[in-house]
Structure 1
Amino acid sequence: MLWTAGAGVAATEIRTSAQHGTEPKFQADANSGRVVGICIDIMRAVERLDPGLKFTGDQVWQPLPRIYSAMDRGMQDASCGLSHSPERDKKYQFVGPPLFSIRYYLVARSDDAATINNWDDLRNLGKDSVVLANRGFAGATILESLGGIQVDAGATDPKLNLQKLLAHRGRFFFHRSPGLQAVLERSGVVGKVKILPTVMTTSQLYFVMGRQVAPALVERLRTTLQALEKSGELERIAKSWE
């Protein structure tokens, strides 16, 4: 049976934040300016199913390094929509089931004739084919783990990497979808760059909680997410943002 809050009983807070540069996981609503997105919808669905849980801080924007720091220091309990990595697996608690999946693509300048069907095609282009990625994000970790690929993860924002791409400071930009087209539009580069058609890799995203969070709360969130998955609500939310 799912948890319910009795009358007059304060809800258990789960402190979180909105992650910069991750549309449509988190994005600013064009009319109200409030943070909306896949993760916000999932948090509200959790609260509806278990009224004894309340996410706080989801309207506060933070870059990913600051989110890590806050969880490490026990100042934040959870972050929505992170993928597994060896470092994260050691430091945090992943709360299944997966929330949604993402697909990674390469973005090139519009006049680039390169055809990339797999990682070997990318490697075979040589050392001048630098791939830009966002520092601290999973995409950079994926590229660096492959070997034989020249990676520049010096910038933390997709818009900066797209500017570097147009300035010929890299040949490709590695980023994920859903949300990639919105990033191109927001950055003002539509028509100047193109998304190559090959899906280079996929990844599943999860709620991640700090090690300081009590096991009972972790299990409570897991139980609620499992119910949302079983009902099809997680899939419905993700598809609504495609």
Structure 2
Amino acid sequence: MSLGRWRRCWVGVLAMLCLALCSAVCSAQPLSLRTVSQAGARIKYELDEAGVPRGGICLDILHAVQRVDPGLRFAGVEQPHPLRRVELLLEEGGIDVFFCLLRSPERAQRWHYAPTPLYGVRHAVVLRAEPPLNLEGYEALAQLSRQQPVVVMRGSILVQALKREGVAVAEVASDREALEMLLRGRASAVYGQEQNLQRTIRDAQLGARVRLQSQGFPLEHQYLVYRKDLPQAAVDRLNAALKRLEADGSLRRIAEAPR
């Protein structure tokens, strides 16, 4: 190897070492970011009897981010808020970041999304077991809603998705309340995220009385979001942590863990 090539090689190696060292030093620097948890979303944030988050996909991802970047801290996660309040806090700068939100064009105007998807969620409907119905897609759901509305959780962007497809909706505070309306004959179907609906059906022991169907409905992803004016250094650290969790399979394992 010529002297010139040898020097260029060592310059490249030193540059990589400096980059790794800078990354390690940055990760060691303490950085506290404000956040909250979401009330009424048990798959995302499982609350204990005192209303304090004890688990859930989004809380597990938050802890994993702290594991790969020990200097990062998230203050306020023990405070659960309804989704609409979460969105208002994020838009007005009351919090810095939030785990996890679905993406929509309207939401993307109000705050920023990290590029790494956290986990996928399939949309689904719940119908009464009797009479049996085969319902696939929004067109069939819109026709069914002409008899009685389709119930969906209040504040979710799923409300807008249904309305765009011509589905008549009624909004309620929780999936449990939606299922109760369905069983009392006050709704034609319940629409929501498959994981949430499965958990609610299991906890309420309603498996013999209802039927869940996801075929014909879209798959979307949850993301980490942050306020528009969050400093770029903080954004870079968050993005780097998520990329590491994606690369080593942590995000997939968290999403696939039994709930």
TM > 0.5 between the two?
A: yes
Tell me which moved more, 202-211 or 22-31: 22-31
Aligned mates of 1:34, 1:89 — CA distance in 2: 27
Q: How does 1:1-242 map to 2 (within 5 A)?
A: 1=20, 2-4=23-25, 11-28=30-47, 34-125=53-144, 127-146=146-165, 148-153=166-171, 155-187=172-204, 189-241=206-258
In structure 1, what residue type is equivalent to 2:98? S
Identity between Structure 1 and Structure 2 (%): 27
User: Match of 1:97, SS?
Assistant: coil
Cα distance change on mapping 1:199 and 1:4 into 2, 3 Å:
farther
The whole-number CA distance in structure 1 between the counterparts of 2:120 and 2:234 is 24
* Rounded Cα–Cα distance in structure 2 between residues aligned with 1:32 and 1:95: 28
The CA distance in 2 between the partners of 1:81 and 1:125, in whole Å, is 31
CA distance in 2, matches of 1:116, 1:142: 17
Q: What TM-score, normalized to structure 2? A: 0.83
Report how far residue 133 of structure 1 moved. Answer: 0.7
After TM superposition, the structure 1 stretch with the greater mean CA deviation from structure 2, 30-39 or 78-87, is 30-39
Larger % of helix: which?
A: 2
- Return the offset for 1:195: 0.9
**CA-based RMSD:** 2.3
- 1:122 CA drift (Å): 2.3
Q: Secondary structure, in 3 states, of the residue corresponding to 2:118?
A: strand
Would you say the 8 A contact 1:4–1:52 is kept in 2?
A: no
What SS does the aligned partner of 1:213 have? coil
Give the stretch that moved more between structures: 213-222 or 181-190.
181-190
Cα deviation 1:116-161 (Å, max 9, x = unaligned):
1222222344611421111211221221222x221222x1221221
CA contact (8 A) 1:5 1:51 kept: no
State the secondary structure of the residue aligned to 2:187: coil
Gaps of 5+ in 2: 1-19
AA aligned opposite 1:156: A
In structure 2, the CA distance between the partners of 1:55 and 1:205, relative to structure 1 (3 Å rule), is: same
CA distance in 1, matches of 2:144, 2:51: 45
Q: Which structure has the larger Rg over C-alpha atoms? A: 2
Secondary structure of residue in 2 paired with 1:179: helix
Q: CA deviation at 1:13?
A: 1.0
- Are the structure 2 counterparts of residues 241 and 56 from structure 1 closer, same or farther at C-alpha, using a change threshold of 3 Å? farther
Q: Report the equivalent of 2:11.
A: none
**C-alpha separation in 2, matches of 1:241 and 1:54:** 26
Give 1:101 deviation, angstroms.
0.3
Distance 1:66 1:3 in 2: 36
Taking the aligned partners of 1:62 and 1:19, their CA distance within structure 2 comes to: 5
Tell me, which stretches of 5 or more residues in structure 1 are unaligned?
none
What letter matches 1:74 in structure 2? G
SS at match of 1:91: coil
